[in-house]
Amino acid sequence: MPPSRTLPFSSYSDPSVLHQEQERIFRRRWQYVGHTGQLPQPESVAAGRAGDAPVLLTRDAGGELRAFLNVCRHRGSVLVAEDGARKTVQCPYHAWSYELDGRLRSAPRSQGEDDFDASSLGLHPFAIDTWGPFIFVNPGPAPAPLAETLGRLPELVASAGVDVHALAFKQRARSSYEANWKVCCENFLECYHCQIAHPGLANVLDIREEAYTLEEDRWFSSQYGPLKEGWSGDFDPTGSVGHGQFHFVYPNVTINISPGSPNLSIGPVLPEGAERTSRFLDYFFAPDADPKWVEDLLSWDGVVGDEDTVLVENLQRGVRSGVIEEGVLFRSERLIAHFDRLVQEDLA
Ligand code: FES
Ligand SMILES: [Fe+2]
């Protein structure tokens, strides 16, 4: 089979392409927005994002989780910027206030308006679902259940020795890149670059083509890197989790599991503009994980992240230059081809 082709280079810097992607991808696909630990008690709220849509998560007095567009029905202000305990949600602009189930509760001076219909001005709801502590939101109307997107992924993660229900949240790490969001996703989707670009990772995982396996499902893909024989490094990768695993849920959710004690990081790749992207990763560990081991793993992972920043920003400078229309993808990059196909299907 000859090498396949990348997406057109122009699609990595064209603002009109990003506009279409927001409409046709991010407005209709399930995305990770945060975790249940952000709303630990009844009567709490949290803020997140799905694509460019601000998301409000609420947990009502009865404990039920809901998601809404985090936008006031009066003139469109964002409502909530910070997570916290709340019995109601009040807009910071003109003080319209909403119940945690989305109903408009009060609007100052509304008594003076003719035919003011509060019942039609509740918050715009989004579909919400969870996998263990992970909260996913879909801004589309009546989407298929999250389980259809995740497919066998929860099983695969469980069978690797990670019980997501038993993990404890440790921290959120944020990063930003001068690169298109697809460049960041595609960088996540191959380890062809690991040998030259990630010496620390290559000392721990066996990244040889014959050892490092790639699997595609309908909406997600997985990479498995076995522990390298004679591994070396600052963090001890031996434990109940035997493989490094990197899962990607279309369109933008990255999941990392390192070998060693149970651990998992999950987070979205968020377009900020055609050539700007932000990410965050929520790190979870077994509650009894050794703090020193956790710190060592985080610093090992942080080095890999810094190395990737240089790679994606370099690639962005190249693809934006024009002249060449596209690139080629090797077999080791077939998960990129899978991602690109899904992007093209959604945009078609
Ligand atoms: S925009 Fe929210 S109350 Fe006016
Ligand atoms: Fe990388």
pLDDT tens readout for residues 286-326: 999 999 999 999 999 999 999 999 999 999 999 999 899 99
Q: Is the CB of 204 under 6 A from ligand 1?
A: no
What structural domains does the chain harbor? 31-142 (2.102.10.10), 151-347 (3.90.380.10)
Residue 168 CB: number of other CB atoms within 10 A?
Answer: 13
Distance CA 262, CA 287 (A): 9
> Structure tokens of 348?
């078609």
What separation in Å is there between the alpha carbon of 291 and the centre of ligand 2?
25
pLDDT at 200: 95
pLDDT class of 263 with cuts at 50, 70, 90: very high
DSSP category for residue 143: P
pLDDT at 111: 94
Distance CA 260, CA 297 (A): 9
What separation in Å is there between the alpha carbon of 172 and the centre of ligand 1?
30
Distance CA 316, CA 279 (A): 16
pLDDT at 322: 86
Token look-up 């985080």 returns 298
pLDDT at 180: 98
Ligand nearest to the CA of 184: 2
Strands 104-106 vs 97-99: parallel, antiparallel or unpaired: antiparallel
pTM of full prediction above 0.95:
yes
Mean pLDDT over the full length of the chain = 97
Q: Is the CB of 74 under 6 A from ligand 1?
A: yes
pLDDT at 320: 95
pLDDT at 163: 97
Q: Is the CB of 110 under 6 A from ligand 1?
A: no
- Whether residue 204 has pLDDT greater than 80: yes
Q: Which of 21, 23, 20 is nearest to 182 (CA)?
A: 21
Residue of 69, 80, 93, 105 best suited for mutating to test ligand 1, as the one with most atoms within 8 Å of CB: 93
Q: Is the CB of 94 under 6 A from ligand 1?
A: yes
pLDDT at 42: 98
Closest ligand 1 atom, CA of 95? 3
Percent of the chain with pLDDT over 70: 100
pLDDT tens, position by position, 266-280: 999 999 999 999 999
pLDDT at 112: 95
Closest ligand 1 atom, CA of 94? 3
